[in-house]
Amino acid sequence: ARMLEESVKFFANVNPQQAARLLQAASFRKICMGDPIVRQGDEATSLLIIINGCALRYRSAHPEHVKWSTWEANKVRGDFSPLGELVERLGVGDSAGEQEVVAGCLPYVCTVVADDEVEAMEIPAAAFRSIMWDLCDGLPVPTDPIADLLSRDPADRSREEVEGVLLESLASSDFLEQLPVDVRVQITEAMTFRRFPTSAVISHQGKEGGLFYLVVAGSVALHRLVL
């Protein structure tokens, strides 16, 4: 597991605890050359991380026209033209379906086919979202004390309150636990508290990212516009 974490670039921005849990949830797939890894338009039930081999990502304006029942003949001829435009080549560490699984409400937006024999790790969508979005390992976070403290100006918060209320409440945050204690204190000293109604937009793709958010209650969905 540690070898995979260190050698597969997908895990570069995933903390060790999350990586270990993702590996526990994963299964192994071997895909023959020319076979689809994911098919555009299908429900995004999992994401796959390539650990050996390479693949091709295609996007079609009419994915419903692909005749999968006779795809074997296209494989033999090496004719992938029905899949549409070749978008990119994927190699070891690249993923198929991550964008759709994160969004949680999209079918696969591209077809990915094996360009040679591919070995891949497959992670179910539900497991991926649970692990990657689980700020505090499923433990409920008491929001009232946090909201009360963060409603005050940062200058009016004592270090003892920050450490006793915020750091204790967020002790199991996967994000914060990676940081040195002094850095955690500096971050939490500068925090404010916001509540968003259902369906509110928290951030917009393409706009300058001047803030980041830690979700302490509820859940969010991430959407990315593919240009």
Segment 45-79, tens digit of pLDDT? 999 999 999 999 999 999 999 999 999 999 988 89
Q: Provide the β-strand partners of residue 58.
A: 86, 111
Q: What is the DSSP letter of 107?
A: B
Q: Is 162 helix (H, G, I), strand (E, B) or coil?
A: helix
Segment 160-219, tens digit of pLDDT? 777 777 777 776 676 777 677 777 777 777 788 888 888 888 888 888 878 888 877 777
Query: Model's pTM, two decimal places?
Result: 0.60
Determine how many CB atoms are found less than 10 A away from the CB of residue 169. 19
Segment 113-152, tens digit of pLDDT? 999 999 999 999 888 877 776 544 545 566 777 778 778 8
